[in-house]
Amino acid sequence: MTEHETGPGADRVQQPPGAGVTRRDTGHDNGAQVKTGNDKAGPAAEAAIPELVIISGMSGAGRSTAAKCLEDLGWFVVDNLPPALIPTMVELGARSQGNVARIAVVVDVRGRRFFDNLRESLADLDARGVTRRIVFLESSDEALVRRFESVRRPHPLQGDGRIVDGIAAERELLRELRGDADLVIDTSSLNVHELRAKMDAQFAGEEEPELRATVMSFGFKYGLPVDADLVVDMRFLPNPHWVPELRPYTGLNEEVASYVFNQPGAKEFLDRYAELLRLVAAGYRREGKRYVTIAVGCTGGKHRSVAMSEKLAARLAAEGVETVVVHRDMGRE
């Protein structure tokens, strides 16, 4: 894949109105939607400071696709704008009489001074009270190498070295920015449509909730999700895989879920972890963090983690957190 082709191996199925949870199984896309605020409200709106999204991340991870998605949603998108000019761009948007209410800026690696300028611009924006978010596109080294080789292009930072040298140099330059990101999207296994669906889920729609959570089931044998903020392990519970009549089914099956939650410690874990997440969610809101990814693992990502993820998502939705469920590895075996 090129930078324009990137996605999760799990899609979304919209729950009934009021359910508060969107499930992404291996099925069809029906995006959960969020407001980006493009309403004009008379004279006061004319001087309104635009909403700002900064898109960055690894070369080849899908920055261009993410930017195109926001452009299709009505954002004013500027590609490769020098970071020093971002405050000027926001100021121009504020003078547009409400015609430029949402600005997305794509920044990539140009060197250490480039990111020194970015830090200075971010500090300037914070001092002005500008609402801004950083979206960071991540991908594994293997996926990035494959994408660069498929288009026979060098990595912008590899110089006389190999593609992997350029990737390593870029990761080092971007480490601090990745840590500051409001949203990290791992595109290692995403195609272009799945990446667009993720962007739609975060930036399209009618209203923006205070906090959005993704609860992701996964199998440890397939590796940890690199974009997880919190990870818990369900392998302390007996595995339904060893019950012949349950083995063919997943944690979405009522009998499998009942088996999991009838095990000692399962309900207690759910209650206590849900309570912990309530505290964490309150802290995230206070700190202005809008997105959290909670990874729930078991051996293969088919039974225990799936059942627990569904219950955790329901608890979060009941607390007013807009929640998406992703079953990353379900159906993979």
User: Which of 108-112, 165-169, 247-251, 286-290 has the least mean pLDDT?
Assistant: 108-112
Q: Are residues 241 and 121 both part of a single domain?
A: no
Residue pair 277/211 in contact (Cβ under 8 Å)? The answer is no
Q: If you average pLDDT over residues 27-56, what whole number do you get?
A: 52
Indicate whether 221 pLDDT > 90: yes
Q: If you average pLDDT over residues 114-142, what whole number do you get?
A: 89
Rounded to whole angstroms, the Cα distance separating 159 from 109 reads 13
Residue 42's pLDDT is what?
A: 43
Q: Are residues 108 and 174 both part of a single domain?
A: yes
User: Which of 29-43, 228-242, 296-310 has the least mean pLDDT?
Assistant: 29-43
Residue 136 has phi, psi (to 5 degrees) of -115, 125
Q: Are residues 38 and 173 both part of a single domain?
A: yes
Residue 34 token pair: 């969020």
Residue 223's pLDDT is what?
A: 94
Q: Are residues 224 and 200 both part of a single domain?
A: no
Residue from 305, 315, 300 nearest 234 by CA: 305
Residue 110's pLDDT is what?
A: 64
Query: What are the CA-CA distances from residue 85 to residues 80, 81, 117, 121 (Å)?
Result: 11, 7, 9, 8
Q: If you average pLDDT over residues 25-39, what whole number do you get?
A: 34
CATH number assigned to the domain comprising residue 163: 3.40.50.300
Q: If you average pLDDT over residues 67-80, what whole number do you get?
A: 89
Binding residue positions for GTP? 108-111
Q: The domain containing residue 191 runs over which residues?
A: 31-207
Q: Are residues 167 and 287 both part of a single domain?
A: no
> Rg of the chain's alpha carbons, rounded to an integer?
21
Binding residue positions? 57-64, 108-111
- The percentage of residues in the chain with a pLDDT greater than 90, rounded to a whole number, is 47
Residue where a domain terminates, one of 173, 207, 241: 207
Q: Are residues 39 and 155 both part of a single domain?
A: yes
Highest mean pLDDT among 37-51, 151-165, 223-237: 223-237
> Position 216: which residue type?
M
Domain count, the chain: 2
Rounded to whole angstroms, the Cα distance separating 191 from 5 reads 6
Q: Are residues 53 and 167 both part of a single domain?
A: yes
Q: Are residues 43 and 61 both part of a single domain?
A: yes
Helix 63-72 × helix 192-203 angle, to 10°: 50
Has residue 20 been placed in a domain? no
Residues across the chain:
333
Q: Are residues 84 and 187 both part of a single domain?
A: yes
Q: Are residues 110 and 236 both part of a single domain?
A: no
Residue where a domain terminates, one of 207, 231, 263: 207
Q: Are residues 148 and 249 both part of a single domain?
A: no
E runs forming strands in the chain: 13-14, 21-24, 51-57, 76-79, 102-106, 132-138, 183-186, 212-219, 230-233, 291-298, 322-327
pTM: 0.56
Has residue 44 been placed in a domain? yes
Binding residue positions for ATP? 57-64
Rounded to whole angstroms, the Cα distance separating 89 from 106 reads 12
Indicate whether 53 pLDDT > 90: yes
Q: Are residues 49 and 186 both part of a single domain?
A: yes
Residue 34's pLDDT is what?
A: 28
- The percentage of residues in the chain with a pLDDT greater than 70, rounded to a whole number, is 83
Strands 21-24 and 13-14: antiparallel
